Structure formats: C-alpha cells, structure tokens
A and B are shown apart, each in its own frame.
Chain A
Amino acid sequence: MTRQQLVRAVLLPMAVPVLVVVLAWIFAGSIDPYQLDVATSLLILLAAAQAWNILAGFTGQFSLGTSAFIGTGAYTTVLVMTKWGLNPWTALLLSGVAGAGVAAVLAPALLRLRGDYFTIGTLAAALGVQAWAVNFDLVGRSSGIDVPFDKLPFPVDLFRIALVVAASAAVVSVWFAGSRFGLQLSAVGQDQDAAVGLGLNVFRLRLVTFLTSGFLTGTAGAVLALQQVHVEPTGSLGITWTISVVLMTIVGGLGTRLGPLVGVVVIYLGVTKQFAEQPITGLVVQGLMLILVVRFAPKGLWPLAAELVGGRLARQRATHDPVAETMMTG
C-alpha cells in the first residue's frame, strides 16, 4: 500500500470523526439537557455497533455477546468508582481493559474454531455473565449496584465522554477498514482457508479484532453506567443490547464504515424510541426488519443509498470522463 493510498483510505476518513468530536465538544455547552441525553444514548449505541461491526462485518465473526461486554464495562465502572474512588475517565479506561479481558478469557474457547461456534459461544458467554451477576454479592445480585452520586459527571461532561468513546470506535473502524491490516482482516472474513493459504496468522488477526471490539464495547458500557447510574443484570446485561446492535449494523450496512452510524440513527429514532412503550410490538418490528433486510436488501441501507447516489453520479460523469467511472467503482 502506497503512502498516497494510506492517506486516502485511512488518514483522511479518520480526520472526520476527530473533527466532529472537536466541534461537538465545543458546542456541547449550548445544547439542552434532554437533547444531550438522547445524543449520549445514540453515541453509546454507535460505539457498540461499530465495535460489533469490526467483529462481524470485517472478520465475519458473528458475535451474540455484546451484552456481556456492555455489562462488564458498566459493572467495572461502578466497582472502580465505588471501591477505589476513581474518576469517570479512569473508570472508562479500566472498563475497556475489563472488556478486552473478558475477550482474552474467551479467546481460547472461541477463536480456534469456525465462526458458527463463535456465535453460540458468545451467546453462552452472555448468558453466563448474566447468570453470574444475578448470583454474586460483589455486584449486588439481581438488585444491582449504583454509581456513587457525588462522582457522577454533569450531562455535558458525560456527553463529551460518550463523544470520545464513539469517535475512538470510528477511528478504529476506519483503520481496520482501510489499512493493510484491514485488508488482512477482510481476507479472514471472506475465506478463512484462503487467508491461511496467504500465510496470514488467522488466530492472531481474529484475536486482535476480538480484543479491540471487547475494549470498545466495554467503554460503551462504562458510559451507559454513568448515564443510567443504576446497573443491574436485566438492564445492563440483557440480550436487548445485542439485538439492538445487530439490528442497527445489519440495517445500516454490515462491514461498511458508515453502516453502523446510519443504522443507529434510523433504528434508534425510528424503532427504539417509537416502541419504547410497547416492547412486544417493538420486538415484532425488530424481528421483521432483520428478516426483510437480509432477504431483500442484504447489504443494508447505507451501501444501497451509496449505490443509488454513486451510480447516478458515475453515469453523469461517464458522459464526459470514462476514467471517473472506473475510479468510482474501483
């Protein structure tokens, strides 16, 4: 990969989330608390969806363990803030480490086998962590534990934390999607045997993505704890998190850089908020959407939209400049 390619595929796209963070950071003070809260929720989901996309989209490791990592992050934040009196930023970092730690513990079981085992294994891990939390005094059993009230960040600061978490996930996504390392990951995702044939260390590549995804999802869980204050097994470790993240990424566009963003916004505003009062109807809508999208628009909304717009642009340009078309598609 030449330097020019690296700049175009990785460094320029990385600048976008960084710029957004800087702008949003500055203007956060002038947004009203309700909007900040909605934005924070969106950013938590965006971070988790991107972390899932790195696993499922880039390397074909379809995880059902998101809730385990969100929960681990959330519990870690509460525990280190209560027991050691740490500040939110340090707690955030440790939540990421805890998330990666869970991934590291699971790795020997999940990464030596093919993707199918990974899927069920992550589900077993998610159910296991939840069953553990329900029975353990350290984490308050089924009643859960709270973030100490005097250490809670203000909504503006919480929003800024969430911003950094989501942007970090975006930067990692861009790096994984565009770099030489990202190409290796994509080889693993498309055909594991061929990737082995190319001399790639498949286990190592899968491990790096799993740890990274675990870290990022853990930090998303930390933000969740700071936002919700109260952390308990049903809310923070519930399969709902996994459903949301899978649905959002699939609807937006699995394996694309912008798919999670599109999916999070569309699903959160269009489904999650609309059906908050009717959970059963919401479940029906979510289930139907998964089936319909995978049946009729398997690439998801973002690639579909990009194709429509890109196709039109390419056709317009093609009348003047045949080279442009090959660049658009190439």
Chain B
Amino acid sequence: MDVVNALIQGILIGGLYTATGLGLTLIFGVLRIVNLAHGEFVIAGGFLSLALTEAFGLDPLVTLPLVVAAGAAVGWLLYRGLLGPLSRQGATQPLVATFGLALLLQALFAQVFSYDAKSIPAPYGDAGVSLLGVTVQAAYLISLALAVVLTAATWFLIQRTRWGAAVRAAARQPEVAALVGIDVRRVHATVFALATGLALAGGVMVGISTSFTPTSGAAYLVFGFTVVVLGGIGNIPGTLLAALTLGVVQSLMSLWLGGQYRDLVVFVLFLVLLAVRPQGLFSKVRIA
C-alpha cells in the first residue's frame, strides 16, 4: 500500500518537473546553450503568480496565462538583447551571462519577498482528492493535468506547425536553414521565449503545490536537466515520461531512505545517468 501510495505521489510530483524540463530541452536542443537562470525563471513564475494573486485576488490558475505571457515577453527581450548576440561569440559567454542573470533574479526575489519560504494560496492547495484509494492534494492533480496539456501543446507546436518545422530545421542545420530563407535568429528568439514561458508556468505549478524560496532555483535547474537527459534532448514526449519517472524515483527513494534525501537522490541519479546512459532512457541517438 505504501508503495502504491508512493508511486501515485511520485507521478504527481513528476508533473511539477515537466514544464521546467520542456523549456530546458528546447533551449538545450535547439539553441545549444545552457541556461543557468532557468531555475530562477521557474521561481519567477511562482513569485509573479503569488504577487498577482495577492494584489488582485485572482485565482492562481487565472494568473497562469498572464504569467506565461510575461515570461515569454521577457525571454524574447533577453534573447534578442543579450543572449543571442553573446551566443554567437562562444559557449562560455551565454553561460556567464545566464549565471549573472540567475544572481540578479535571486536578489530581486529576496528584496521583494524576503528569503522565507512561500507558497501560492489556492482553494485547492490543501484539498484532498481520493485517487485509487489514495488521498492526494488537488493542486498536484491539477499540475499533472497541466503538464500533460503543456506537453501536448509543445509537441503540436514543434511537430505540426510551420513555425515548428523552422525550429526543427534550425536545430539540425542552422546554416542550411538560413539558406532556405529561415530567419534563424528570430526562430531562436521565439524558442527562448516559449521556453521561458514554460519555465514560469512550471513555477506556478510548483507554487500551488508546494513551497519555494528565492534560492530554490538551482535545485529546479538540476531537476530540469535530469529530466532533459533522462528523456533525451529535444524529445518532447520523452520529457513528460522522464519527469514522471523522476518523480516516482524521488518518491520511492524518500519512502525507503527517508524524506530528507529527496533532493540528494536526484543529484546522485543525474550523475549516475551521465556516467551510464547519457543518451537518456527513451532515445537511441547518442549525444556525446
């Protein structure tokens, strides 16, 4: 019974990591840059939704489209103004810039909201729902549903739209894509915008389900990257599966080793994964 409970909780936790992983897998797979501020983008979603909820008495889910739109706009500006030009200079420059950005965001969060742990108040935050005889938090269930919707939407955008075809072309052969008339820089900026929007959406899900602090970002960055590697870079359905797998692993390990190891388990898993199967669980393509 405990194991069934942990399995269900794990799948639900995995929902929280999906949006984070989707954004990262796009940035890493298409733009080939490591966004060290991605974890802070996630947390920004949590804080922004919290601020809107408190200021206007909105339901967190109503704030979600606003938060995503704001994130996408800022992401687009950041890529156009800073990261795009830097990424044409080398690999280290965008890395350093996103690291600086992460520190700035942490400072901003701490200044406005203090270092105390926060969560977004929602009527369904603590409400219990019975699922296969296990009582689960409604917020987690909503997050999981959102994760599935976001994954499907991202998959549709990338695989079934004209824009998605341009993204895939720009990811595989940027030079050739440019030759056939694709504005690669614009495509990259839109991908970064989408990824940032997804990260902030992830933050709203984290915020209604659990708590976060200005310094939680680093852990979400590593969680997100674990999902990316586990799912195979650029593999969108793989990202969802990987996020759920990660949640289950984390939940089962917490059950067997104790809850205080829930983060440590992910860090170790990530390193083991890099050593043993860096191409991920759901991919035959080697990336190394």
Chain A residues packing against B (C-beta within 8 Å): 56, 60, 62, 64, 106, 108-110, 112-117, 119-121, 123-125, 127-128, 131-132, 134-135, 239, 243, 246, 250, 254, 280-281, 283-284, 286-291, 293-295, 298
Contacts and interface: CB of A to CB of B under 8 A. Distances in A.
Given A117-B274, A131-B263, A135-B260, A123 B92 contact: no
Interface string B269-288: 01110110010000000011
Contacts of A115: 91
B102 interface: yes
B274 A298 contact: no
Given A60-B92, A120-B222, A127-B219, A112 B278 contact: yes
A121 B271 contact: yes
A40 B120 CA distance: 45
A132 B111 CA distance: 29
A284 B274 contact: no
Interface stretch (B65-73, B93-101, B125-133, B183-191): B93-101
B274 A291 contact: no
A250 B107 CA distance: 20
Given A116-B28, A298-B93, A243 B274 contact: no
Given A119-B95, A127-B263, A294 B100 contact: yes
Nearest to B225: A120
A271 to B, nearest CB: 12
B97 A294 contact: yes
The dominant DSSP class at the B interface is: helix
A223 to B, nearest CB: 26
A240 B82 CA distance: 24
Given A123-B222, A128-B268, A294 B278 contact: no
Given A112-B288, A280-B111, A287 B271 contact: no
Nearest to A114: B288
A100 to B, nearest CB: 17
A120 B96 contact: no
Nearest to B102: A287
Interface of B: 28, 34, 36, 82, 86, 89, 91-93, 95-97, 99-108, 110-111, 218-219, 221-222, 225-226, 229, 260-261, 263-264, 266-268, 270-272, 274-275, 278, 287-288
Which of A60, A116, A243 gathers most chain B CB within 10 Å?
A116
A265 to B, nearest CB: 20
A135 B229 CA distance: 27
Contacts of A64: 36, 99
A306 to B, nearest CB: 20
Given A284-B107, A287-B107, A291-B101, A128 B271 contact: yes
B102 A121 contact: no
A25 to B, nearest CB: 36
B262 to A, nearest CB: 9
B92 A62 contact: yes
A214 B93 CA distance: 24
Contact of A110 (B104, B219, B267, B274): B274
Given A116-B28, A293-B96, 7 more contacts: A108-B275, A119-B95, A121-B270, A127-B218, A127-B219, A286-B103, A290-B97
Contacts of B93: 294, 298
Given A60-B92, A62-B92, A239-B218, A289 B100 contact: yes
B97 A283 contact: no
Q: Closest 6 interchain pairs by CB?
A: A290-B100, A287-B103, A128-B267, A287-B104, A283-B107, A109-B275
A101 B267 CA distance: 18
A298 B100 CA distance: 14
B91 to A, nearest CB: 7
Nearest to A108: B275
A19 B274 CA distance: 44
A128 B101 CA distance: 23
B102 to A, nearest CB: 7
Contacts of A119: 34, 36, 95
A119 B95 CA distance: 9
B97 A291 contact: yes
Contact of A288 (B36, B100, B275): B100
A269 B28 CA distance: 37
A112 B275 CA distance: 8
